[in-house]
Amino acid sequence: MASSTTTAHEPHTGVKLPVLEREKLILNERSYHWITERICGVVENKQPLLWWLLFIPSALIAAIGVGGGLFHLVSTGVGVWGNTNRVMWGWPIVNFVFWIGIGHAGTLISAILFLTRQNWRTSINRAAEAMTIFAVMCAGIFPAFHVGRVWFAWFLAPVPNANAVWQNFKSPLLWDVFAVSTYFTVSLIFWFLGMVPDLATIRDRCKPGIRKFLYGIFALGWRGGNRQWSHYEMAYLLLAALSTPLVLSVHSVVSFDFATSVVPGWHTTIFPPYFVAGAIFGGFAMVLTIMIPARFVYGLQDLITMKHIDNMAKIILLTGTIVGYAYLMELFVAFYSGAIYEMDAFKFRIAGPYWWAYAAMMSLNVISPQFFWFKACRENLWVVMAIAMCVNVGMWFERFVIIVTTLARMWLPGDWKTFSPSPQDQMLFVGTIGMFLALFMLFLRFLPCINIAEVKWTKLEADPHFDDKEHHPDPGATTIAAYQKELVGSKS
Amino acid sequence: MSTTRKRVYGYLAEFKSASALYKAAEKVRDAGFRKWDCYSPYPIHGLDGAMGLKRSILPWFVFFGGMTGTATAFALAYSTQVVIYPTVVQAKPANIFTIPAFFPVMFELTILFSGFTVLFGLLALIQLPRLNHPLFASRQFHRATDDGFFIAIEARDPKFSPNQTKELLAEIGGANIELVEEED
C-alpha cells in the first residue's frame, strides 16, 4: 500500500501534532443531487414575494431613470446634464468610475482566486461575474452619452470616416474605450462558458417544451464527457489567466485618464494600484450586499457559508486598508513634494467646501472596514451588511472627491465652480441603480446563481481517490478532540 | 409495429462514484478502446490520465490568436498615427518612438483576440454546439449533469462487440448497462 511508505507509520514518542481539519465549504454533507436541486430550485420554483418587491420597483426606476432620462437627454441635448462647465462634466465620470469599479470583484473572484486555487470562490463566483457584466453595462451608459451627440459615438471606434481623421491612440480616453470594451467582452465569454455545464443541468431537468429548447440552445449540447471537460478546463484556466492581467489593466487605464493629466491631485503614480485596490474593495462590498440577502431568501446557507462571508470580509479589510494607505500617501506626497499647487489641492479637498465628501470618504472607506479585525463583527451579518453598505457609499464618495473637488479648482480661476448635479443627472444615476438591481433579479430568476459543477467539485468525495483514503485514513491525522484527549491522558 | 430503423450507438454504464469511474476508466483504457468517454457532473481531477488523454492543445491556438491581436493593434495604431494621419499631441512624436503610448491598446487587443480564440477554439475542439446527440436518447443519461457517473463505449470502436463489451462493463463495476440506440 502506498501509505506504508510514509514515515507516519514509524513508532514515535511524545505527543502527535494535530492536523487541523479544513473548514468545509459545503455544510451538512449535502449530496450532489441536493446541490442540483437547491440551485436549480431557485430558477424552477416560484419566486418569493421579496423578489417581486425588489424587481418591480427597480425595473420601474430603471425604465424612468435610464429609459426616460436618456430619452430626455438625447431629444433635448446634453445641456440638461449641466455639462456647461468643466465641473459638471464630473458627474457622469464619477458614476462611470463607480460602476466599473463594482465589476472588478467579479473578475477577481473568478480569475485571480481561481489561479491561486481558492476553492471557496466556487459558491460566489457566478453571481459576482453576473454583477461584473451588469455593472459594466451601467458604467458604459455614462461615457457613451456624455460625448454629447450620442449618434456620433461610433467615432470612438477606429473605422474610416468622412472627415479622414483618426482616433488619437496616444490618448488615455481611447485606451479606455479599448480597455472597457475588452473587459466587457472577455467577462461575458468567461461568464457564459462557466455557465454552459450548469445550463445543461437545467436543460436535463426540464420537461420537453420551449423552456427545454431555450436552455438547450444556450447549453450548446453539452454532455459532460471527459473529452469535453478536458478542453473545457483548459479553456477556463486560459480565460482566468487572461482575465487576471485584464482586470488589473482596466482600472489602471481608467486611472490613467486622471494620472496622465497635469492637474494637481490627479498627476500621481500611485493612481493605478490605488484604483485597482479600491475597485476590488468596492466590488466585494457589493457582492456581500447582494449575496447575504439572496442566501437567506433562497436557503443557500449550506453553500454560501459563514466561512465565505468571513473570507470576503477579510478581503474588504485588506483592500480597505490599502485604500487607506493610498489616501494617506497622497497627502504625504503632496506635503513632501513641496509643490504648492499639489498641497493646495489637498487642502481644498480636506477643508474646502467639499470637506463633507472627504470626511465621508475617509470614515466610510478607511475606518468602517477596520471593524472586520474582530471575529464577532465578521460573524454578525447585520454588522457585515452595514459595513458593506458603508463601503458602497464610501466608494462613490471617493470618486466624487477625486473628480469633482479637483475639477472645481482647476488652474484658471475662471473655471472655479461649485458643483451641483442637475435633476437629470441624479435621475440617470438612480436609474442605473435600478437597472443593476433589475438585471440581477432577472439573473436570479433565469440562470443558475451558483456554479453547480464547481461546487460539486469541492466536495471531498469528488476526489477520485476518496474511496482509497476512506479505507486507509492518513495515520498522521488527528482531530482536535483526539488531540486534547491525548494531552489529558499524557498528564494523568 | 414501429417501422423506424435504429442504429446502435453503444453501451452506457453507470458507476457509483468518482472513484469507481476513475478505476473503471483505467481498465477501459487498458482494454484498448478508442471511441469512448467518461461522463460526470463535474471535471474529475486526473481522469485525463486514467483515460489516456493528451493535454489539450487549446493553448497553442490561443497563443497565435493573442499574437494576432498584438499585431493588429500595432498595425492599427502605427498606420493611423504615423502613416495616414500623423498628429503631434502632448509633444509625443509621430514616429515609431511613440510606441509606448500604443502599449495599452496592444495589450487590450491581445486579451480580446485571445478571449475569442478560447471561445471558438474550445467549441471547435469539443465539437459543439450541436442540436442533438444519440446519448440524449438514453433514459438515464440526464443524470450525468446531476449526480450520475457514466462510461459510454461506442459501437464504432473497432474493439466493440455486443457481448464482450457488455461483460467488460459489468466486470469493472458498471450498473444499469444500457444499449443506446439512435434513430436512423
- Do A187 and A106 contact (CB within 8 A), yes or no? yes
Query: For residue B2, what pLDDT is reported?
Result: 57
pLDDT on residue A484: 58
The torsion angles phi and psi of A380, rounded to 5 degrees, stand at -90, 110
Please give, rounded to a whole number of angstroms, the shortest distance from the CA of A190 to a CA of chain B: 8
Q: Do B112 and A186 touch (CB under 8 A)?
A: yes
Q: What is the per-residue pLDDT across A89-138, written as a single tens digit (0 to 9) for each?
A: 788 899 999 999 998 888 888 898 899 888 889 999 999 999 999 999 99
Q: What is the pLDDT of residue A481?
A: 57
Residue B70's contacts (CB-CB under 8 Å, 6 or more residues apart) are B106, B109, B110
Q: A396 is written with which cell numbers?
A: 462613490
A31 touches chain B (CB under 8 A): yes
Question: What are the mean pLDDT values of chain A's consecutive 10-residue runs (492 residues total)?
Answer: 42 62 79 92 92 95 95 88 73 92 85 89 92 94 87 87 86 93 95 95 92 94 94 96 93 91 88 91 93 91 92 95 95 91 91 94 95 95 96 95 88 82 90 96 95 89 75 51 59 50
Look at residue A5 in the predicted model and tell me its pLDDT: 39
Which has the closest alpha carbon to A291: A141, A456, A434, A109? A109
Look at residues A469, A338, A460 and name the one whose alpha carbon lies nearest to residue A23.
Answer: A460
Give me the helices (H) in A338-451, please: 340-351, 355-361, 375-379, 381-400, 406-407, 423-446
- Quick one: pLDDT at residue A163? 82
- DSSP letter for each residue of B7-40: EEEEEEEEESSHHHHHHHHHHHHHTT--SEEEE-
* Inter-chain touch B89–A168, beta carbons under 8 Å: yes
Distance from CA of B167 to the nearest CA of A (A): 22
Nearest to B45 among A200, A228, A464 (CB): A464
* Contact (CB, 8 A) for B13 and B165: no
Residue type, B16: K
Give the Cα separation of B135 and B8 in Å (integer): 11
Distance between CA atoms of residues A91 and A80, nearest Å: 12
Alpha carbon of B145 to those of A13, A409, A415, A456: distances in Å? Answer: 50, 60, 62, 11
Residue B170 to residue A279: CA distance in whole angstroms:
55
Interface test with A, best of B14, B15, B19 (most A CBs within 10 A): B19
What pLDDT does A491 receive? 52
Whole-angstrom distance, CA of residue A410 vs CA of residue A413: 7
Query: How high is the pLDDT of residue A11?
Result: 53
Residue pair A270/A333 in contact by the 8 Å Cβ criterion: yes
- Nearest by CB to A226, from B40, B98, B125: name it: B40
Q: Count CA atoms within 13 Å of residue A439 on its CB side.
A: 21
- Judge: A468–B126 Cβ closer than 8 Å, yes or no: no
Single-letter amino acid, residue A481? A
pLDDT score recorded for residue A492: 47
A256 CB-side CA count, 13 A: 19
- C-beta atoms of B118 and A238 within 8 A: yes
Taking CB atoms and an 8 Å cutoff, what residues of chain B touch A172? 104
Per-residue pLDDT at A18: 66
Interface contact flag, A231 B122, Cβ < 8 Å: yes
Cis bond upstream, residue B129 (ω within 30): yes
Q: How far apart are CA B105 and CA A287, in angstroms?
A: 30
The predicted pLDDT at position B27 comes to 94
Distance (Å, whole) CA A436 – CA A442? 10
β-pair partners for B152: B12, B37
Question: Distance between alpha carbon A311 and the CA centroid of its chain, in Å?
Answer: 14
Q: What angle do CA A258, A421, A104 make, to 5 degrees?
A: 45
Nearest CA among A65, A66, A77, A85 for reference residue A149: A77
Using the Cβ of A437 and the Cβ atoms of chain B, whether some distance falls under 8 Å is answered with no
Pick among B79, B102, B126 to test the A interface (most A CBs inside 10 A): B126
Q: Establish if A41 touches chain B: CB-CB under 8 angstroms.
A: no
Q: Which chain B residues are Cβ-neighbours of A32 within 8 angstroms?
A: 41, 146-147
Task: Report phi then psi at B10, rounded to 5.
Answer: 155, -170
**Cα separation of B179 and A380, whole Å?**
55
Separation CA A12–CA A9 (nearest Å): 9
Locate B59 and state its grid cell. 493553448
- Give me the pLDDT at residue B92, please: 83
Taking the CA of residue B56 and the nearest CA in chain A, the distance in Å comes to 5
Q: Are A306 and A291 in contact (CB under 8 A)?
A: no
Q: Within 10 Å of residue A326's Cβ, how many Cβ atoms?
A: 20
For chains A and B, what is the number of CB pairs under 8 angstroms? 218
pLDDT in tens, chain B (184 residues): 456 788 899 999 999 999 999 999 999 999 999 999 999 999 998 999 999 999 999 999 999 999 999 999 999 999 999 999 888 887 888 889 999 999 999 999 999 999 999 999 999 999 999 988 999 999 899 999 999 999 999 999 999 999 999 999 999 999 999 999 987 6
Percent over 70 (pLDDT), chain B = 98
Scanning A167-225, the segments in alpha helix (DSSP H) are 172-205, 210-219
Instruction: Choose among A225, A234, A462: nearest Cβ to B59.
Output: A234
Distance CA A490, CA A486 (A): 6
Please, how many CA atoms are within 13 Å of residue A104, restricted to the half-sphere of its CB? 29
Q: Is A235's CB within 8 Å of B76's CB? A: no
Q: What is the predicted pLDDT for the residue at B141?
A: 93
Cβ-based contacts of B17 with chain A (< 8 Å): 461, 466-467
Domain extent listing, chain A: 28-153+169-454
Alpha carbon distance A310, A314 (integer Å) = 6
Instruction: Residue A164: list chain B partners with CB under 8 A.
Output: 85
First CA to last CA distance, chain B = 16
pLDDT at A289: 94
Q: Which residue of A has its CA nearest to B150?
A: A225
Query: What residues are paired with A252 via a beta bridge?
Result: none
Contacts of B62 in chain A (CB under 8 A): 238
